[in-house]
Amino acid sequence: MPWDTEDYPSSLKNLDTAVRKKAIDIANAMIDEGYKEGQAIPIATEQAKEWYNNASDKEINQVKQMSDNDLRSRDEDSQSSRPELLDKGEHVIPFEDGWAVKTQDAKQASDVFSNKQDAIDRAREIASNKQTAVIIHKKDGSIQEKL
């Protein structure tokens, strides 16, 4: 059963509202992807705190406005409903004016950065959580390095 603002892990209770809602959203997505609660909660908490530190006021307000229904329901076309992606590597690829982190065979990037090193760092974090590879591409799309 997905978490919401009325029913969530007690470890999230002392977080700021926006951080808590983001952590709930991330944890729900991770559970949908096949993670166990014991894995999802600490990862989601850490990612939500990191998100909050880097989010714009607009992004924070959007999360604060999320309803319990928003937190419980996931878009069926999103990556979160595709547990087969858990075994796929994370690619750092050129994207518009920056770099994207995208799971192999995913429909969309999970993160986009203006700096390639930031994208590599995020890809390493995701791949470490999933115990998969990181594939770094050059601007022309060819593979630069596999980690």
pLDDT in tens, 20-76: 999 998 888 888 777 888 888 999 999 999 999 988 888 888 888 888 887 876 544
Is residue 90 helix, strand or coil? strand
| Bridge pairing between strands 111-113 and 134-137 | unpaired
pLDDT of residue 114: 92
Count Cα neighbours of 21 within 13 Å in the Cβ-side half-sphere. 16
Residue-wise pLDDT tens digits, 111-121? 899 999 999 99
Residue for token digits 């799309």? 141
Quick check: 80 pLDDT over 70? no
> pTM for the full model?
0.51
Q: Band of the pLDDT at 77, cuts 50, 70, 90?
A: very low
pLDDT of residue 94: 93
Q: Band of the pLDDT at 142, cuts 50, 70, 90?
A: very high
Q: Band of the pLDDT at 83, cuts 50, 70, 90?
A: low
Q: Among 84, 87, 100, which residue's Cα sits nearest to residue 129?
A: 87
pLDDT of residue 132: 87
DSSP assignment letter at 101: E
H or E, element range at 30: helix 17-33
